[in-house]
Amino acid sequence: MSNTVTDKSRRYFGTDGVRDIANNGVMTPEFALKLGRAYVSFLMQKGIKRPEIAVGRDTRFSGPMLEDALCSGIMSAGANICKLGVIPTPGVSYVVAKNEFNGGAVISASHNPAEYNGIKFLDDNGFKLSDGDEIEIESHLDTDRASRPVSNNLGVSRFDVKYFYDYQTTLKQIISGIKDKNYPIAVDAANGAASALIGPIFDCWNADVTLCGNMPNGMNINNGVGVTHMDFICNAVVKNGARVGIAYDGDTDRVLMCDESGRVLDGDIMLWVIGRWLAKKNTLGAGVVATVMSNMELEDVLAADGIKVFRCGVGDRYVLDTMRTQNCRLGGEQSGHIIALNYANTGDGLYSGALFLTAVSELNEDISTLYDRFDKYPQILRNVQVKNKDYIMQSTEIKNAAHEAERMLWGKGRTLLRPSGTEPLIRIFVESRDSKLMNDAADMLEEKIKTTILEG
């Protein structure tokens, strides 16, 4: 199977909001203020006269600066703010969905280093905005159509800690409901938004819990910890004799696990386990949604239980769109971004990790065997630097090469060409159990891209 993915780029919004080095590029207080005004203008155009917006952030040093600027912009346009403080992105989603808010805003750069920060928005159900919505917000940036109220028509700001504790209580309930809590675990909060949560929500665990990456100082978020540095939790598991390790990213929308030997259990393995559990409960829907990057083994192992896999483009918003279209209640990415719609409206690392442990318990799974039983297809990922990603992706020669790769791998593997969302790169992905065929297809595609660059 061959796939060619094109980049539907916006000027400021990427696959997960607006993101840049804080106080540099676009992620400045001035831009955050304009973005807040544009968001309110967008909501008011939908008929909401005085929007109520929940705002949360992660632990970055730049968070309060951007929070103040964003909230100033929102209030200057006549909307009210409820500050939630430091809280995971899915926590903001939960609060918006369960309460009378017209939208939400999160100040976070997720898995990126501490010097980065970002802003993303949610709708009144706690879902991330669509591409079209973000394009519309950008149009309001150009004209600054937001109102300029005066006197008591200005927006007001409040802080309410009860929403944080409501979210925490919900998480504690799902973890306390896990039948088997009698083995040691290790948990890594990435010095991010879950740092204050992991202690209380795992209080009910019956065995030893090793807490890691839960001492944020503003600059150590994702620094050698979390899902982008799995060696940290893997070593902690082995060192402390834990049976499983759980690692989050900075804003806690992603989670990855590892077994007692320190072997990473990625999002594909989590989808396999949780998918079978939901199917057994008759709450899975039509199947499981995975991106084009998920390993072909996921289709094989789920097919053994009669579960269908639906593929979509890379990015959690595309996972969610496909879940809605295909009537699936579970979807996600290899990277550990799992959406379980029966429990949360966005990727929630805390929920997903707890659901995995619940599924393991109720399916009587042996965590130590999952890695070996999930026999991954070998994969190649190559990056080719280019000046014009659109020119390459729209080239007839490249499209013909992709079709030729499809012919080469028919029935034995698949290929994917996609532009990087953040760098001047074309990514070549090939997957097959036939290593020679896999390398031949990758070589052919790489050579064709380089030739096209020279000819262009």
Q: What is the pLDDT of residues 10-29, one digit of tens each?
A: 689 887 899 999 998 899 99
The one catalytic residue in 2, 93, 110, 352 is 110
The pLDDT of 148-174, averaged and rounded, is: 96
Residue 1 has pLDDT above 80, yes or no: no
Collapsing DSSP to helix, strand or coil, 282 comes out as coil
Q: Give the alpha-carbon dihedral of 429, 230, 246, 313, to 10 degrees.
A: -20
d(CA 359, CA 278): 8
Number of Cβ within a 10 Å radius of residue 191? 27
Residue 2 has pLDDT above 60, yes or no: no
Q: Give the pLDDT score at 420.
A: 81
- The model's confidence at residue 142, banded by pLDDT at 50, 70 and 90, is confident
Q: What is the largest CA-CA distance in the chain?
A: 72
For residue 425, count CB atoms less than 10 angstroms from its CB and return exposed for 0-12, middle for 13-18, buried for 19 or more.
middle
Residue 187 has pLDDT above 50, yes or no: yes
Q: Give the pLDDT score at 207.
A: 98
- The model's confidence at residue 317, banded by pLDDT at 50, 70 and 90, is confident
Query: Which are the contacts of 214, defined by CB distance < 8 A and separation ≥ 6?
Result: 189, 191, 194, 195, 196, 198, 199
The pLDDT of 200-214, averaged and rounded, is: 98
- The model's confidence at residue 411, banded by pLDDT at 50, 70 and 90, is confident
CB-facing half-sphere around the CA of 446: CA atoms within 13 A: 16
The pLDDT of 355-367, averaged and rounded, is: 97
Strand pairing category for 103-107 and 52-57: parallel
387 is written with which tokens?
A: 């000046």
d(CA 346, CA 108): 15
110 is catalytic: yes
Residue 9 has pLDDT above 70, yes or no: no
d(CA 44, CA 37): 11
176 is written with which tokens?
A: 């306390």
- Rounded to the nearest integer, the mean pLDDT of the chain is 94
Residue ranges with strand state E in 276-318: 288-291, 309-312
Domains and CATH numbers, the chain: 7-160 (3.40.120.10), 166-373 (3.40.120.10), 379-455 (3.30.310.50)
Query: Model-level pTM?
Result: 0.90
Residue 5 has pLDDT above 60, yes or no: no
Q: Give the pLDDT score at 200.
A: 97
Lowest mean pLDDT among 2-6, 164-168, 322-326, 370-374: 2-6
Q: Give the pLDDT score at 143.
A: 82
Q: Give the pLDDT score at 162.
A: 97
Collapsing DSSP to helix, strand or coil, 84 comes out as strand
The pLDDT of 300-324, averaged and rounded, is: 94
Residue ranges with strand state E in 51-184: 52-57, 80-86, 103-107, 116-122, 157-159
393 is written with which tokens?
A: 């992706």
